[in-house]
Each structure stands twice: as C-alpha cells, then as structure tokens.
Chain A
C-alpha cells in the first residue's frame, strides 16, 4: 500500500503540495483529478521517489521512502513502473529495444526469453510488428502504447500513469483507457492514474481522489465520488465534457 502523510512540497518558491494525506488501496485503480497546475504529477512522482517532500512521509508498505537514496530506493522502485505523460521512450532505441530495456538491464534474461516477453507485450498493446520502429516514427497514441508495454513488461506490483491520454484524440484515448483497464484486470496491479478525462475516469476507476489547493479535498469510491455535494467539487466534475458559451457567442 502507498501512503502519503502530510506531504508538503515547494517548487520555484510556490507551495505546490500543502499537506497531502492519501492512502492508495492495494490492487485497485485510483485516479487523482484536479485543476491543471495543482501538482498532480508532482504528487505522483513523490510516490516513486522522483521528488522528495520538504515535509511529510511517503510509505510503501512498511518502508518510509522519502529519505531513501541509492540502492535502498532502487529496491523499492523495482516494484514500480511508470507511464509518463510523453511516454519517455528512449529516442536512440527502437520500440523493441525500449520494451526490452528493463528486462536486459535488470533481469539479465537470455535473448530468447527477452524476445518472447517483448513480443507478447507488444501484441497485447496492439503494436505487433512495430518493434523495429523508432519512437520518432510513431504517433502519439502508439508511443503511449509502447510506453505501456515497457511499463508492463516487468510485471510490477504498482503502476503510475501520468496523464496517459493527454493530447490524444477521443478514440485513441478510449483505446488507451481500455488497455489500462484490461491489463489491470488481467495482472491485478495497484494503479494510480493522474487524469483530466472527466467523466470517463468514473467508469474505469475504482477510487477517485481530488487534489485541490495542495491537499486531497476528497477521496471516495468512483460512484460515491460523483454524488459529492461540495459545490466546488461538484462543479469541477460536472463541467467535464460540457461547453459554456458566453452570451455573445451563442450558436445560430
């Protein structure tokens, strides 16, 4: 279980997180929502030790990771994978080499086993036969899928998704969401996702948390979250997918 206790973080003189308390349920898909610039990605990166909090604690099971460094932190990170907003594929490697990268670096498997596992994952994310391409030759959606394959290939216990559908068309966003849900059901990992895709995230998430003013304003099971009556939260989740026209811009 991942647990954040009173996490505070100031970046560039601006207080981004102001005492976040959050518990991520094991084996569930939890989505963190919130306005742009609220610090959702920063929060996610605290969970894997890419950021250290100025104050507060980050627990992964029985280990407090916020002050860990080097080998001790790497031991914890072996349980994680992360899909970055831009997929963060290595430009100089092909798709196959990108997905094979953690297997070769961390497990030292025989090339035959590496090939089998990589092809299996590429097939699962719908990139069969694309292994020879470089990231620059792929569309945004394909890059995300390759990033997902790389995240899944080590079969981690916990996967962090940083806005996995940002910048994609609705069809591709649905494809990525479906893939995440399928993989989550198949492998049963704990998933934490940062997303703006309201209302879609309510269909796919087990739990939803909202980050507001540097704190967790609410966290509840997905269906329950939609019934929250707090006006600001209700407004935030109700405007998703709707357009408010100004009086002078009414459609003819």
Chain B
C-alpha cells in the first residue's frame, strides 16, 4: 500500500515538474519573440514548411470531410424535408469545429512530428549545445521562428480547409444529389455569422500555439537516444492532439 502511495506521489511530482517546465519553455519562447534579431528569413522558411508543405494533405482532408458531410447531411436533412439547409449545416460544421480541429490535427501529424524529430536530433547531435557555446540562444534561433510560423500558418490552412470543405459539400450535395445551388449558398449566407468566423480564427491561432509549443518542447528535452527521440515524437503527436481536442471543448463552451 505504501509503495502504491509512494509511486502515486512520485508520478504527481513528475507531472507537476513537467508542467512547470513546459510553461517556462512557453514563457521563455514568447519573451524571446520580442527581442531582435527577428529572423524573417527563418520565419518564411518555417512558414513554407509548416504552411505550404502541409497544404496538400489539408486540402485532401478538407475535400473528403466536406463531401462526407454533404452526403450524411443530405440524407439526414431529407427526412425532415430540409435539404435546402445543407449548405448551412456543412459551412457551420466546417467553420466552427471541423476546419480548425482537423486542419490542426493534420498539421500536428505532418509538421509537428517533423519539428519534434528535427529539434530532437539537433539535441542528440549536440547542435543545440553548439548554439549555446556560440552565445546564441537556441530558443530564439530555433524555436521562435517555428512558433511564429505556426501562429500564422495554421489559421491560413484552416481558412483553406473551410473553403475546400464547403466546396466538397457543394460537389456532393448540389452536383451529385441535386440540391439547388441557390439554396446551398443562400443558406450559408443566412446562417454563418461573423462571430462563427472569428471563433474559428481564434481557435486556429490557439491550436497553432499548442502545436509549436508541445512539439518543440518534446524535441528540445528529448532523451539522448534513438529510442528517446521516437518516444518524444510519439508523445508530442499524442499530447498535442489531445490538448487540441480538450482546448477546443473549452473554447467552444466559452464562445457559444
């Protein structure tokens, strides 16, 4: 019994220490953002990696998500004779929830895992120590550009996801199943309000922070072995995905 309590205590202390270190990491990264040099070239490179290179998988996911929403929505709404509301159902689902959440999960899987692996390898091969010895802060040089790029890139990808998803719903609902194009677009126009769009943008900004924060943190403090790096990458993807879903719930409950 005492062993169980001791183990519980050790685990609790470990978790508290880990959370404290994660918050300090985030605080230090934000603090370094405001100090020159600002490294625009590094930020653009990261924006290209996180944003542009994730666009294909985001478009693909968005198209099929919109198409399946169109399909499911059409048969559900038809039972009530409300097929004309298909556009609003697809658009609201996309803009409020599916766009920010699914696009962020795709970015986590594609770019977040790569960030963890890249930073982790730099840690294992002492490249981060080399930066330190040159009196260059690794948080400023390595992490800050990724942080800014995720902050800018994720909302842009979410916007693309929303548009492509709505067109995916249009393709299935209007072109395949025969809903009137006019009612599809007009129901979107009447149902979607600016606060839905703002809410989606706010979510995507916060998800961008979560992705860069957790994935960079896990790489930065990886254990010095190949196995440790593998574990760090897995933990980064799992923890980021779970945090996105939990944070989405809290943000939705505040925004609604």
Contacts and interface: CB of A to CB of B under 8 A. Distances in A.
Contacts of B136: 105-106
Contacts of B141: 105
B254 interface: no
B176 interface: no
A82 interface: yes
B189 interface: no
A77 B133 CA distance: 6
B4 interface: no
A82 B135 contact: no
A91 interface: yes
Contact of A90 (B127, B132, B137): B127
Interface string B117-155: 000011001110110111111000100000000000000
Contacts of B126: 84-86, 88
Contacts of A84: 126, 129-130
B127 A50 contact: no
B135 A106 contact: yes
A152 interface: no
A106 B134 CA distance: 8
User: Chain B interface mostly helix, strand, loop or mixed?
Assistant: helix
B125 A82 contact: no
A82 B127 contact: no
A75 B134 CA distance: 10
Nearest to A79: B135
A102 interface: yes
Nearest to B141: A105
A88 B125 contact: yes
B125 A77 contact: no
Interface in A174-221: none
A117 to B, nearest CB: 15
Interface centre among A50, A78, A81, A88 (most CB of B within 10 A): A88
Nearest to B136: A105
Q: How extensive is the interface on chain A, given as a class?
A: 20 to 34
A74 interface: yes
Contacts of B129: 45, 50, 82, 84, 88
Contact of B134 (A85, A86, A105): A105
Nearest to A41: B126
B135 A77 contact: yes
B127 A77 contact: no
A96 interface: no
B133 A91 contact: no
A85 B136 CA distance: 20
B254 to A, nearest CB: 37
Contacts of A101: 134
A80 interface: yes
A81 B125 contact: no
Interface string A228-250: 00000000000000000000000
Contact of A48 (B121, B127, B133, B137): B133
A51 to B, nearest CB: 10
A77 B130 contact: no
Contact of B133 (A82, A85, A89, A105): A82
Interface centre among A49, A80, A81, A84 (most CB of B within 10 A): A84
Interface centre among B129, B130, B141 (most CB of A within 10 A): B130
Interface in A98-127: 101-102, 105-106
A78 B133 contact: no
A50 to B, nearest CB: 5
Interface in A52-99: 73-75, 77-78, 80-82, 84-86, 88-91
A152 to B, nearest CB: 13
A119 to B, nearest CB: 20
B97 to A, nearest CB: 37
A224 B64 CA distance: 77
Contact of B127 (A73, A81, A91): A91
Contact of A74 (B125, B130, B135): B135
B142 to A, nearest CB: 10
A137 to B, nearest CB: 16
Given A81-B134, A84-B126, A91-B122, 6 more contacts: A45-B129, A50-B132, A88-B125, A88-B130, A91-B127, A105-B134
Interface of B: 121-122, 125-127, 129-130, 132-137, 141
A-B pairs, top 6 by smallest CB distance, nearest first, are A74-B135, A88-B130, A88-B126, A77-B135, A82-B133, A84-B126
10 contacts: A73-B135, A75-B135, A84-B130, A88-B125, A88-B126, A88-B127, A88-B130, A90-B122, A91-B121, A105-B141
